[in-house]
Structure 1
Amino acid sequence: MTDPIIIAVPKGRILDEALPLLAAVGIVPEAAFSDDASRALRFATNDPQIELIRVRAFDVATFVAHGAAQLGIVGSDVLMEFDYPELYAPVDLRIGHCRLSVAEPADMAEKDDPRGWSHVRVATKYPHATRTFFEARGVQAECVKLNGAMELAPTLGLAPRIVDLVSSGRTLKENGLVEVETIAQVSSRLVVSRAAFKTRARVVPLVDAFRRAVEHASA
């Protein structure tokens, strides 16, 4: 028997939106997957040849790029940040919609013009994507790497601006920040290990099944 195909899925909001797509493809995780008390990270499914692993969103791409998983569901923000050549992203799943944006304190934004920036200091967990965006505009970006609580950076003097994911904008507003630039619109993608795409017989049919499920959901 061949090793099972492992699909890496992210914890959190995207997973809630991904579960109906997985079901549409015919993949139903074991009961422990939905048990909030469970600390398991690897789960069987109704298909003995498919397993799921549940990891941090930023780690999905790494597991798939290095061959520890064959497929994954991950935001396009993560793909921008890591830019793994080993990954193929054949399907936009049309879930997890948000945007990667530059934000700053509202009082600062009132007198600020992004067109005049030549150097910015930014707190973000996306240093690569941030530098790439600003370099394309001839702006030097000094990035302070944070993994969370980004909104505190301006008020505590760590950096006057942040780059982070924005959905409703409520968190920014509650912390006195406003969006001033949009770096990219973000949605979740199905990613595949290029090696697995070429060598694992079930991978291509699975990709096709996800594509059909997305098209049906959008019809």
Structure 2
Amino acid sequence: MKKIILAVPKGRISNELIPLLETMNIKIENDFFDSNTRKLYFKTNHNNFEIIRVRSFDVATFVAFGAAQIGVAGNDILKEFQYNEIYSILDLKIGKCRLSVAKKKDEINQIDDQKGHILVATKYKETVIDHFAEKGIRAECIKLNGAIELAPKLGICSTIVDLVSTGNTLKENNLVETEVLLNITSRLIVNKIAYKVMNSNITNWVKRFERAINE
């Protein structure tokens, strides 16, 4: 039986995924749980099932290019990259949050699109451009990969688009959530070619995920 590689994101989603994997009787080698490890490739108790751990924004790319046959990625990432090489198979119902527009509290009532232009700090460039284009507004994106809430505070711009969970980080940085672009959960994704070539094997693992979600 051919090997299946599962790409999982680092951080919170990885932690939320572990109980699902345990329900599926997937036991990952101990290094996976070592916060000091620099390993990215991990074996499991199944000889034909291994795991790679990468940045959340890279999961879809690894799956799209066939380096991993399946992966776990938020629908925010799928929307941003829109890879044709991927099937979104299953909503895993973990990693719940939202992608939102937020503005400086003292500028929330200002009309910043009078000239059909807005400056936005975000790492979701394509999603933001498409969203504001639907409103007839040209969005110019300042690409940041972290600490996005600092952009308005330091005068780079007054608007950001970022992930929001509790909203506490926004409040602490004097920002107000003004619009939700997307409600997010993590999805099980599959490389289309792998799904055709390894259909029975991948389908078996998809069914295991499905049963684990419903338990």
Give the alignment's TM-score, normalised by structure 1.
0.93
Query: Where do 5+ consecutive residues of structure 1 fail to align?
Result: none
Q: Percent identity?
A: 50
SS of equivalent residue, structure 2 residue 126? helix
CA displacement at 1:25 relative to structure 2? 2.0
C-alpha separation in 2, matches of 1:29 and 1:116? 54
CA displacement at 1:178 relative to structure 2? 0.7
CA displacement at 1:101 relative to structure 2? 0.3
2:189 corresponds to: 191
Structure-to-structure mapping, 1:1-219, within 5 angstroms:
2-109=1-108, 111-112=109-110, 118-200=116-198, 201-216=200-215
Question: Which residue type is aligned with residue 171 of structure 2?
Answer: K
Q: CA RMSD, aligned part only?
A: 1.5
C-alpha separation in 2, matches of 1:84 and 1:145? 20
Task: Check the 8 A contact 2:121/2:157 in 1, yes or no.
Answer: yes
Task: Check the 8 A contact 2:59/2:73 in 1, yes or no.
Answer: yes
Q: Deviations over 1:105-150 (max 9, x none)?
A: 11111x2368978321100000001111111222211111111110
Question: Which residue type is aligned with residue 30 of structure 2?
Answer: A
Question: Which residue type is aligned with residue 49 of structure 1?
Answer: N
| Range 203-212 or range 171-180, more displaced | 203-212
Query: Where do 5+ consecutive residues of structure 2 fail to align?
Result: none
SS of equivalent residue, structure 1 residue 208? helix
Give the alignment's TM-score, normalised by structure 2.
0.95
Task: Check the 8 A contact 2:113/2:137 in 1, yes or no.
Answer: no
C-alpha separation in 1, matches of 2:98 and 2:112? 18
